[in-house]
């Protein structure tokens, strides 16, 4: 598809890329990793991002945002991916805001969206009960209790789960594990009685947590969307999450490729630049081609969300699978082409490879999305 950013979108992209380069460099991730920061992100940087309007890109002006659309937020996520920035942008500005936009009541929107836009509230999507992503395999129970519900069970690897103030929890209100029917989404305060969060030490030094629910009581007003009919809503929220991850992976792959390309132009071996070796030129050409294909897939997916296209789900799976394969390739080629230095922790190439391993699996890996894409298209 032909895809050109508008003048306003290009300005947002330039602002996001400049901010990520200056305020969210890879050195900041290293500092957070070394400090073992409990929040998983630099709070001062997040406050600045909110002041620049990044947290409110999907939020209406009535609730303090700019309503700039998914294409706009995709530029910010791509910029963040380039520097491996650890921020709550995906979990909050993309996932949390999308969930409320899609199904929030007027009261829920009025309470939470202004706080998200102002950078005052971090949200997290608690979806998977098992180590592998499958939205139908939800066993966390939500049983009727008085005027509300009682939640019992555990969620695994909740991105930004240790620092979020509001959790979007997928629970089973009826049916059996594996059924798409019988799921309901709930908005749960992170300080609710009976809720326990265990922060994880992650491969990529980004924040995540396991969360246990021991009879957590919520009111009827905590329901997001409809009771027992939450699978379709969850799928729509996840598609936005997957496209956001794909945009971030595109940024990471771009940066890793640029790092490798620069090295090919400066590193000498046997008295000549290694970039003059035909074998390495072929490998670089393959990476460049895969990056351009991925760029088109991500652009199409973001545009489909803004256009409310009927094939947004297919494009979400296409973008996620393609971006995962591309970042896997480019990040590992980056390590290999740098030789011995690429194997050291001091060099940034390894950080991109570690981040790629996490993002590939997040909200469904390549095989999950190839299968889903085929099923959505009737194969």
Q: What is the pLDDT of residue 36?
A: 78
Structure tokens that stand for 22 in this block: 């200056």
Task: Tell me the pLDDT band of 182, cut-offs 50, 70 and 90.
Answer: very high
Question: Domain 125-228: which topology?
Answer: Butyryl-CoA Dehydrogenase, subunit A; domain 2 (2.40.110)
Q: Which long-range contacts (CB under 8 A, 24 or more apart) does 222-226 make?
A: 222/148, 222/149, 222/186, 222/187, 222/188, 223/149, 223/184, 223/185, 223/186, 223/187, 224/99, 224/100, 224/103, 224/104, 224/108, 224/168, 224/185, 224/186, 224/187, 225/102, 225/103, 225/184, 225/185, 226/184
Give the sign of the dihedral formed by CA 110, CA 185, CA 163, CA 57. Answer: negative
Assigned fold of 7-121? Butyryl-Coa Dehydrogenase, subunit A; domain 1 (1.10.540)
Mean pLDDT of 221-236: 97
Give the mean pLDDT of 61-75.
97
Look over the chain and give the mean of its residue pLDDT values, rounded to a whole number: 95
What is the pLDDT, as a whole number, of residue 274? 78
Percentage of the chain beyond pLDDT 70 is 99
Task: Return the percentage of the chain with pLDDT > 90, whole number.
Answer: 90
Across residues 55-84, what is the average pLDDT? 97
> CATH for 232-376, among 3.30.1600.10, 3.40.710.10, 3.30.420.40, 1.20.140.10?
1.20.140.10
pLDDT higher than 90, residue 270: no
Cβ contacts of residue 312 below 8 Å, gap of 6+?
A: 239, 301, 304, 305
Full-model pTM = 0.96
Q: Is the model's pLDDT at 271 over the cut of 90?
A: no
| Lowest mean per-residue pLDDT among 37-46, 109-118, 364-373 | 37-46
pLDDT band at 4 (very low <50, low <70, confident <90, very high): confident
Mean pLDDT of 290-311: 97
3-class DSSP state for residue 3?
A: coil
Equal fold, 125-228 vs 232-376: no
- Each domain of the chain, given as residue ranges in start order, spans 7-121, 125-228, 232-376
Average pLDDT over residues 69-81: 98
pLDDT at 1 over 90: no
Residue 13 scores a pLDDT above 80 = yes
More confident residue, 266 or 315: 315
């Amino acid at each position: 598809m032909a895809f050109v950013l508008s003048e306003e979108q290009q300005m947002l992209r330039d602002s996001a890329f400049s901010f990520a380069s200056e305020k969210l460099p890879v050195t900041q991730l290293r500092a957070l990793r070394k400090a073992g920061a409990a929040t998983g992100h630099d709070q001062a940087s997040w406050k600045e991002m909110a002041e620049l309007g990044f947290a409110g890109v999907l939020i209406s002006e009535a609730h303090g945002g700019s309503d700039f659309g998914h294409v706009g937020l995709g530029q910010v996520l791509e910029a963040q991916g380039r520097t491996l920035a650890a921020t709550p942008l995906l979990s909050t500005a993309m996932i949390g805001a999308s969930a409320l936009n899609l199904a929030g009541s007027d009261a829920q929107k009025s309470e939470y969206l202004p706080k998200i836009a102002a950078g005052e509230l971090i949200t997290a999507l608690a979806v998977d009960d098992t180590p592998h992503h499958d939205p139908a395999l939800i066993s966390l129970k939500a049983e009727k209790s008085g005027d509300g519900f009682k939640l019992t069970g555990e969620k695994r690897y909740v991105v930004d789960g240790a620092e979020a103030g509001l959790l979007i929890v997928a629970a089973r209100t009826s049916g059996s594990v594996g059924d798409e029917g019988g799921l309901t989404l709930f908005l749960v305060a992170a300080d609710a009685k009976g809720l326990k969060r265990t922060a994880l030490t992650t491969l990529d030094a980004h924040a995540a947590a396991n969360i246990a629910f021991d009879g957590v009581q919520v009111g009827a007003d905590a329901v997001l969307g409809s009771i027992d009919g939450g699978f379709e809503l969850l799928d729509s929220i996840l598609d936005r999450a997957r496209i956001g991850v794909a945009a971030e992976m595109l940024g990471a792959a771009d940066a890793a490729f640029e790092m490798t390309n620069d090295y090919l132009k400066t590193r000498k071996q046997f008295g000549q630049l290694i970039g003059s070796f035909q074998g390495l030129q072929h490998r670089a050409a393959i990476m460049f081609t895969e990056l351009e294909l991925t760029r088109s897939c991500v652009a199409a997916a973001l545009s489909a969300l803004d256009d409310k296209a009927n094939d947004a789900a297919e494009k979400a799976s296409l973008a996620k699978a393609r971006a995962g394969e591309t970042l896997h390739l480019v990040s590992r080629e980056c390590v290999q082409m740098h030789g011995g230095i690429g194997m050291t922790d001091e060099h940034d190439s390894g950080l991109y490879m570690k981040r790629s391993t996490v993002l590939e699996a997040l909200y469904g890996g390549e095989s999950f999305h190839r299968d889903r894409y085929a099923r959505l298209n009737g194969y």
